[in-house]
Amino acid sequence: MGDEETLREMAIVGNLSNEQAITAYKTAVLARTLDTKIINAQRQGIIGFHVPAQGQEMIQIATAMLADKEDLIFTYYRDLALYLQRGVPLSLIFDQMLGNSNDFQKGRQMPDHFSFKEFNFSTVQSPVGAHLPLTVGAAYSMRYTKKNGIVITTFGDGATSTSDFHAALTMASVYNLNVLFICENNGWAISLPASKQTKAEIYKKGAAYGIPGKRVDGNDLIGSLSGLQEAFDYVRSGKGPYLVEAVTYRIGPHSTSDDPKKYRVDEITDGSEKDPIKRLENLLLKMGVVDSNFVMTTKAQAKESVDKEMEERMNIPPTDPLSIFDDVYEKPTWIQEEERRDLNVSD
């Protein structure tokens, strides 16, 4: 999509103010800066692991922009920009990434497996797709208890092959539940290109369940917003579930443990022509909404706050080893109590 077209699209969305566009840009830059910081911290052994979200920021930001506070969001492990746009502070993100004693989850999970309940996020788990059937139950509960809001969930292209995806779409459709399924198709499931994941177009997979679908340009803020708007409207109006395929691009490796050179040799690029942040930046500059000075300041500020925040959070002590026996059950059974004593003694 060229810039001219994008401008026309913007008119279609209509309600995107300059302020909103600028906020989105700032979030995107912050997310990218944070991501880079974490990758470096991982290399230095400060943070254990990371799944970079670079390249996928814009669809995540658009999702957060259109979601209401009362909407419940089930993210997956690669949604850094989504949290930031929805207001999750850097401090909480670092606490989880570091697994320190401030971490809501008590350091129990790998980095990127967040659970920001206060911001109406659910909980992230590693098994791909396994959160999807939960979204359906949550939507059932919300309808049953007459709560406002819809359920939104994100997942990768690989997740569409899982049994959980099939289960979730089956149930969402049969019970006509308000779930907005957003597939962040970044073209890869680790080393498997999306073209080998499935021969169908992902947004058409709803056809097997009577669920409508739509493909949106996930690398473009305006494209994402206008595409998503229709989907949000559909689900909010109670018509049932909807499947969005956001075409996006994984700029980096699958994770800090991954070496994409093994499988991505023939098409490695820096991703810049698809880079959603560059695209928004260029658009804002071209439209005169911001100038190059603003761009520089934004980036510098992002870096400063990310650096500062991480330094601060690194001072927070780790959790007590004996706490590993908590939260297996509401109250530890005799087994956990005994094992806690065992660890305490052997320690």
Partner 1 sequence: MSQINMVQSLNRSLDRLMAADERVIIMGEDVGRDGGVFRVTDNLLNKYGTERVIDTPLNELAIIGMASGMAMYGLKPIAEIQFQDYIFPAFDQIVNNIAKVRYRTGGRFEVPLIIRTPYGGGVRGGLYHSQSGEAYFAHTAGLIVVTPSNPYDASGLLVSAYKSKDPVIFLEPKRLYRAAKSEVPDEQFEVEIGKAAKLKEGDDVSIITYGSMVPVVMSAVEKNQVNADVIDLRTILPMDITAVLQTAKKTGRVVIVHEAPRTLGVGAEISALIAERAIDSLFAPIVRVTGYDIPFPYSHEEFYIPDEKRIMNAINKVLTY
Ligand X SMILES: Cc1ncc(C[n+]2csc(CCOP(=O)(O)OP(=O)(O)O)c2C)c(N)n1
186 is a contact residue toward Mg ion (CB under 5 A): yes
135 is a contact residue toward its own copies (CB under 8 A): no
Region from 25-33, 49-57, 197-205, 311-319 binding its own copies, contact rule CB under 8 A? 197-205
216: partner contacted, choices partner 1, Mg ion, ligand X, none (Cβ within 5-8 A by kind): none
322 is a contact residue toward its own copies (CB under 8 A): no
105 is a contact residue toward partner 1 (CB under 8 A): yes
List the interface residues with ligand X, window 219-258 (CB under 6 A): 250, 254
Shortest Å, Cβ 275 to ligand X? 17
Instruction: Name the nearest CA neighbour of 173 among 214, 225, 133.
Output: 133
207: partner contacted, choices Mg ion, its own copies, partner 1, none (Cβ within 5-8 A by kind): its own copies
d(CA 56, CA 68): 21
212 is a contact residue toward ligand X (CB under 6 A): no
163: partner contacted, choices its own copies, Mg ion, ligand X, none (Cβ within 5-8 A by kind): its own copies
Nearest to its own copies of 12, 200 (CB atom): 200
Region from 31-39, 87-95, 97-105, 213-221 binding partner 1, contact rule CB under 8 A? 97-105
Region from 1-9, 118-126, 233-241, 281-289 binding partner 1, contact rule CB under 8 A? 118-126
Region from 54-62, 154-162, 222-230, 288-296 binding partner 1, contact rule CB under 8 A? 154-162
209 is a contact residue toward ligand X (CB under 6 A): no
Which residue among 120, 125, 161, 301 contacts its own copies (CB under 8 A)?
161
